[in-house]
Chains A and B, each alone.
Chain A
């Protein structure tokens, strides 16, 4: 699904990301872990063609992301608030994304209905614009919006941060369900090792821009990661 080849990003002589080879297969659920500055967001930005690679390339389904836009219909991402349109109400935002992804209003409504408990009655029909919602509630909107239109690849940067405990549990459930779906590849980054090991089938740990661990999740994974990061 995703293929990174010799991928490098250098800012003023400092290599912030260097991935000689990374192959992510369809249906995998990847947890990307690492400290601040490990290159998680840089990798996502390269994947979404938001920054230019210094060297190498990323392909989504054999499409080089900086040469064609054909990957866009397959991919949904939520990295930060800059993926939200502040002057829309949550409903309008969902419908907007739905229209872009070829979904009609009923499709979107059905999806929203399915995730009603995730919203915890704080999002819909509140007569508020997205810019006036709290950080946590904004995040809920962004996350659910990535599910619209059955994308084949979902990218979430730090989805657990800023969420209240109950919502974190619910989010884990959603991600696990997606992970079970063999047609959906999901990429989640997090600082929280426990959350990540719970929801992912494969863990990629980054440190200072390099892949330092690439393991399939098992009973020992959490211990192994904790040992690695406890310096």
Chain B
């Protein structure tokens, strides 16, 4: 039975149109995976020597920081790991035991890269321990225990997937214990170290993570087993709907019609709500770079990098996926009395308005000097003039339909923020930094900012021409896009 499921999964994967359309992205993801694997592998081999040189016991130090390692892992999972979906509904009435379906859906997550990657670190590390004269049995027990904990994280992530408070709790835990340790008020690793190092020093402590893992598997299993009904876990919530007019937007004519709709889109779908929250959080991203807290970042290069994000959060998280937000009713948009031009420019205005709002909200950066805020304004101009067009241009090729509603279902595709989003962002980041560096090299920082803002103004001035190109591109891609959106 499992083999058949795997077969179905494979077909769903290779036959999805996004797979064919985004081969480049897939390649990027594979390169990224190899890069991280090598990184983990190298640290697994080298960390022993490095810590030894500092005159410390490597196992003690690694065990000491294992607490942060685990929390970071969980955090990364919540951000990046997609909960695998198998299309459950059609299977329910087939002669397959419900338990089998659930076991498969859960079991699939075990194979995730997010679990796999840690082997690259833990295996060589354990190996070097044994080579360097640590007790082999104890070292292996330590390895088993830590690996079990990694898999515990895997299940915790599944169970926590729909609950925002878990996410907040974990961030609070990380920041809380980190701050307490940094200000030497209370060192949490003193306690956790006993536990993690105990996997090595005792022959029984390793049982705790194993039992926890079994318990979590069982908990996840029974949670989904119970949720496996059309009117419970597989059903979307029905909320009370209010009709809203937003008549104040009427004065903007055609643009207003679309804006009204887009505001409703943002407010009424979980997926898009996450986007708004994310772009708000991006406002504070600059704090890492602008405050001079970290020396390496205290230069103009990184400040430009950060400033692009501060005002461009919404542009990157929302604009990136235009027109996929309308994927569920794209045939309507394409056959209704809508001229292409109006459709694209309404999305553009939405991005511009959000960028302007972000720029105003980012005014608190004045606290770190007027220059800091000038960087942000220069980058905002660039975002409006150039990046907004690039984002829309890229959108023509993003053919992944967005299911606005499944984010409410137990087995739904829950992650609004994924690796693909990040990858598409890279060219939009490097270009402004390059502009700035050219200006900086010729005539100093001021010229760098001038070129940056100038490029933005130029892009804004030529926007009609750019729009015509975008319109052409969208028209050319229209049929392919319609085709791709048909598959969910």
Task: Report A's interface with B, CB cutoff 8 A.
Answer: 48-52, 69, 72-73, 75, 77, 79-80, 82-89, 91-92, 95-97, 99-102, 127-129, 131-132, 149
Contact = CB atoms under 8 A, between A and B. Distances in A.
B26 interface: no
B264 A99 contact: no
Given A72-B338, A96-B257, A101-B337, 9 more contacts: A73-B337, A82-B330, A82-B485, A82-B486, A84-B329, A86-B329, A88-B261, A92-B243, A96-B260
B265 A87 contact: yes
A89 B243 contact: yes
Given A50-B482, A52-B479, A97 B261 contact: no
B242 interface: yes
A77 B338 CA distance: 13
The 8 nearest A-B residue pairs measured at CB? A87-B268, A83-B332, A48-B335, A99-B257, A82-B331, A129-B241, A72-B337, A89-B243
Contact of B261 (A52, A72, A91, A96): A96
Contact of A92 (B264, B269, B329): B264
A95 B244 CA distance: 11
Contacts of B337: 72-73, 100-102, 149
B409 to A, nearest CB: 12
Contacts of A49: 334-335
B335 A100 contact: no
A96 B333 CA distance: 11
Contacts of A129: 239, 241, 268
Contacts of A127: 240-242
Contacts of A73: 337
22 contacts: A48-B335, A50-B335, A50-B482, A51-B482, A69-B339, A72-B339, A73-B337, A77-B335, A82-B329, A82-B330, A82-B485, A82-B486, A83-B332, A85-B332, A91-B243, A92-B243, A96-B261, A97-B336, A101-B337, A128-B241, A129-B268, A132-B238
Nearest to A105: B245
Interface in B258-316: 260-261, 264-265, 268-269
B68 interface: no
A96 B269 CA distance: 18
B241 A100 contact: no
B405 interface: yes
B242 to A, nearest CB: 7
Contacts of B339: 69, 72
A72 B265 contact: no
A129 B242 CA distance: 9
Given A72-B337, A72-B338, A128-B241, A83 B479 contact: no
Interface string B196-236: 00000000000000000000000000000000000000001
B340 interface: yes
Nearest to A130: B241
B336 A86 contact: no
Contacts of A87: 264-265, 268-269, 404
A129 B236 CA distance: 12
A80 B335 CA distance: 13
B264 A88 contact: yes
A65 B469 CA distance: 20
B328 interface: yes
Contacts of A51: 479, 482-483
B240 A83 contact: no
Nearest to A99: B257
A102 B336 CA distance: 12
